Amino acid sequence: MNVDPLSAVSPLDGRYAGATEPLRAYTSEQALMGARLEVEVEYLVALAGLDATPVELTVADREALRRCYREFDVADARVIKQLETEGDESRPATNHDVKAVEYFLRDRLPDGVGGEWVHFGLTSEDVTNLAYRLLFGPAVETVLCPRLRALQDRLTAMAREHRDLPMLARTHGQPATPTTFGKELAVYASRLGRAMGALEQAVDGLTGKLAGASGSYAAHQAAYPAVDWPAFARRFVEGLGLDHEPLTTQINPADDLATLFDALQRVNNVLLDLALDAWLYVSDGYLGQAAADGETGSSTMPHKVNPIDFENAEGNLSKANSDLGFLGSYLTTSRLQRDLSDSTVKRNVGAAFAHCLLGYRKLEAGLEAVVPNERVMAEALESTPEVIGEAVQTILRREGHDDAYERVKKLTRGQEVTVADFRTLFEELPVSEEVRAELLALTPAGYTGVADRLVEDLE
């Protein structure tokens, strides 16, 4: 059924359908059907490779079977759905999504291959745990990671461009030692890089199981006791590009998925922090925004250019993290050897990924639309000369003044201080003329340490 986006239950398939479309190949029900079919086909091929089984497949047979999932399309998906919910001329409805995939494949077997070998000795979770991981890994790698790399590239470029642009820093929301705008963006680019490294490791660490109804290979062992089934399962799972999970119940315990979701949350936390700071910089006037022709900022205040991209990024990343936290916690628990509550929950992983994707796209758009307002940044520095107090007391400490901190604190803490106040202090200090000149040369805009050089640490 084709649903008009305007009538979709979820905004992910409604308002944001265009933005989330790249995830459909990995998180839709059709995608899951195709991945399950891939596992079933490759398992049948692997069985044919065992001397113990009578299954025989020619090269042409293997190619024909693999075309079943390589050319899998929406028409095929509809057939599987019909087998599940309605049945066909020869079978009643399965009311079981994996069994429907099994029957679909049985109907496409080469001559001479019996349907009894499809899904031989397997439980549904053997197929489904592998199918999901064949989808989730590529979804992160091919859809989410490119957007993250684009964000990191944008942050790195802006950091380098504005590496020496002085800006008032704020700690606890109060004026603090100045920094540069580029250095602050470099911090986010660096953090994002580390978080992405952990995310890539989590994708590489996805695991799969193929151990039967209770994780003991019982059915396989009963049928062919001479086969080393754990070794077979390892070869099969690793052949799919996953790490083998040897000790399981009926289900893969999903610790690997929890690690993946946690890594995504860490990425999102970095970007949430960035979105919040960018919003504050816009609010303070440090960042100006390009006004799009025809765009409305407020339905009543015509002058408004709202930081909506940063706000939308914040909302979507927060929703994503809420979902990811729930998924990581829920999917790692199961009653005894198996309960089915995780089945419906796993179908929502795509929604969590979609909110991630929306957050990344909105944040990227926000960064593309802002330009540092150098005048406002300079005025903020000029109006807060007290921030050089740290430099003053540190230089005086160097010169042996053990009351340096107290002197500057008395002048500046909770007071409105001017440059003239500092000059009066400098004239009264018992220091050499060389040191006095050093103090008089201090300015907020010039007190940024080696912030510009730190940007060079970005790779």
Region of 119 please: left (phi>0), alpha (psi -120 to 50) or beta. left
Give, for 108, the enclosing helix (H) or strand (E): none
Distance CA 314, CA 246 (A): 40
* Contact criterion met (CB below 8 Å) for 116 and 122: no
| Burial of 154 from C-beta contacts in 10 A (0-12 / 13-18 / 19+) | middle
Are 364 and 144 within 8 A, CB to CB?
no
Q: Are strands 207-208 and 243-244 parallel, antiparallel or unpaired?
A: parallel
- Quick check: helix, strand or coil at residue 388? helix
From residue 102, give the alpha-carbon distance in Å to each of 107, 115, 220, 340. 9, 9, 18, 19
DSSP-assigned letter for residue 3: P
Inter-residue contact 201 to 236 (CB < 8 Å): no
Q: What H or E segment, with its residue span, contains residue 122?
A: none
Per the structure block, which two tokens stand in for 128?
């489904």
Kindly give the residue spans of alpha helices, DSSP state H, lying in 347-458.
Answer: 349-369, 374-382, 389-398, 404-412, 419-428, 433-440, 451-454
* Token pair of 4 as six digits: 């008009």
* Amino acid present at 44: L
Q: Which stretches of 49-207 are DSSP H helices?
A: 59-70, 74-85, 97-106, 124-139, 145-161, 181-204
Do 127 and 99 form a contact (C-beta atoms < 8 A)? no
AA letter at 326? F
- Choose among 365, 127, 126, 148: nearest CA to 266: 148
In angstroms, the CA 236 to CA 43 distance is: 7
Element (H, E) at 51: none
Minimal CA–CA distance to 313: which of 154, 151, 159, 146? 151
Active centre residues (catalytic): 172, 298
Half-sphere exposure of 438 (CA within 13 A, CB side): 14
| Amino acid identity for residue 347 in this structure | R
Amino acid letter for position 283: S
